[in-house]
Amino acid sequence: MAEARSGRQVQLDSYPRGEVRLEDFRVVEVEVDEPGPGEVLVRNTWTSVDPALRLRFAPDAPPGYFPAFPLHAAMDGIVTVGEVVASRAEGFGVGDTVWHAAGWRDYAVVAAGVPALNGLATLRRLDTELAPPQAYLGPLGGMGLTAYMGLFEAAELGEGDVVWVSAAAGAVGSLAAQFARINGNRVIGSAGSAEKVAFLLDELGLDAAFDYRAGSVAELLEAAAPEGIDVYFDNVGGDHLEAALGALRPGGRVALCGAISDYETVEPSPGPSNLFQATANQLTLRGFRGSAYAGRIEEVQERVAGWLASGELLYRESVTEGLENAPRALVEMLAGRSIGKSLVQIA
């Protein structure tokens, strides 16, 4: 028998009300099981920090969304990359790099072929020649899928469309903005600091960008797009969506990707007061989740890997070292202090 193995896991200790605090989490050392038949044991190397995790930190997660994380237990449904250290599952061998959804812990026992909660990160071997392992938590993973499908499916991006992407320095936003730029569209990005605006203009090469904290979002958008916009990729909701509804030209489209502005509020915020614009200008607002397009992940990975390899696509990470610092990475991201995809390097 192998010596009993132990590893850390991050658990939710209490459900935050309002802002997430470090005290809402605890790190515990637990014994690690050996894999049973059809299972692998993975030593996790990289794990993901996503805005939408916030939605699961409440006993009453929004109906239709993923269920709340239980307290004092491993958090399932967080995409993670690791290396197989023991396998009793056909098709998986020691040394394989895989992704799965049992994140925020050192080791995970994962059953092959059991669909992950989000439909995407079911245990799968990754091609590390196409891109480094952690890219599968970003542009080659759910983030890339979400940005791609939001833009080309939900918003039906077409030739000549002027596109606004909010939270454009964020993980999904920076991909969506660049996909649109690579597609030949005029792209306006917004973000929450002058540093991020510089990143959008100088590094991502967007056509225009503004700091939404510098004034009224509607006025800033109008200055950046005086003739209006055709597509809005919404990562924010609230006043951003309201500004978009006022700026969208007839036939315009909104991809509703999520509303980070709401994730930390205790009471739901009112929606846009100018939804009538949708009727007046025949606008379409389409909510979507990248995971619904899980069946198309390989198509996206292939295209995105090509853009990464050619240098057309810039991909920036905010890496936090050490599993124990995952809660801090989340707090930083929700506070808007990170640029690009937030990742935790476990080992």
Q: Which residues bind a copy of itself (CB under 8 A)?
A: 62-65, 237, 241, 246, 250, 256-259, 262, 268-289, 292
Smallest gap from Cβ 254 to a copy of itself, in A, equals 9
Smallest gap from Cβ 80 to a copy of itself, in A, equals 23
Identity of the residue, 152 or 193, whose beta carbon is nearer to a copy of itself in the bound complex: 152
Smallest gap from Cβ 210 to a copy of itself, in A, equals 21
Q: Can you tell me the distance from the alpha carbon of 91 to that of 196, in angstroms, rounded to the nearest whole number?
A: 43
SS3 state at 149? helix
Phi, psi of 175 (to 5 degrees): -75, -45
Question: How many other CB atoms sit within 10 Å of the CB of residue 6?
Answer: 11
Q: Can you tell me the distance from the alpha carbon of 242 to that of 247, in angstroms, rounded to the nearest whole number?
A: 9
Identity of the residue, 275 or 335, whose beta carbon is nearer to a copy of itself in the bound complex: 275
Q: Can you tell me the distance from the alpha carbon of 172 to that of 176, in angstroms, rounded to the nearest whole number?
A: 6
Smallest gap from Cβ 34 to a copy of itself, in A, equals 37
Identity of the residue, 176 or 285, whose beta carbon is nearer to a copy of itself in the bound complex: 285
Identity of the residue, 292 or 314, whose beta carbon is nearer to a copy of itself in the bound complex: 292
Identity of the residue, 40 or 245, whose beta carbon is nearer to a copy of itself in the bound complex: 245
Identity of the residue, 152 or 288, whose beta carbon is nearer to a copy of itself in the bound complex: 288
Q: Can you tell me the distance from the alpha carbon of 137 to that of 320, in angstroms, rounded to the nearest whole number?
A: 14
Query: Locate tokens 């993975």: which residue?
Result: 42
Question: How many other CB atoms sit within 10 Å of the CB of residue 267?
Answer: 6
Smallest gap from Cβ 18 to a copy of itself, in A, equals 17
Q: Can you tell me the distance from the alpha carbon of 305 to that of 106, in angstroms, rounded to the nearest whole number?
A: 28
- Pairing state between β 39-49 and 80-87: antiparallel
Instruction: Please give the structure tokens belonging to residue 237.
Output: 């909701």
Smallest gap from Cβ 224 to a copy of itself, in A, equals 18
Identity of the residue, 113 or 115, whose beta carbon is nearer to a copy of itself in the bound complex: 115
Q: Can you tell me the distance from the alpha carbon of 10 to that of 72, in angstroms, rounded to the nearest whole number?
A: 9
Cβ–Cβ under 8 Å, residues 154 and 288: yes
Smallest gap from Cβ 85 to a copy of itself, in A, equals 36
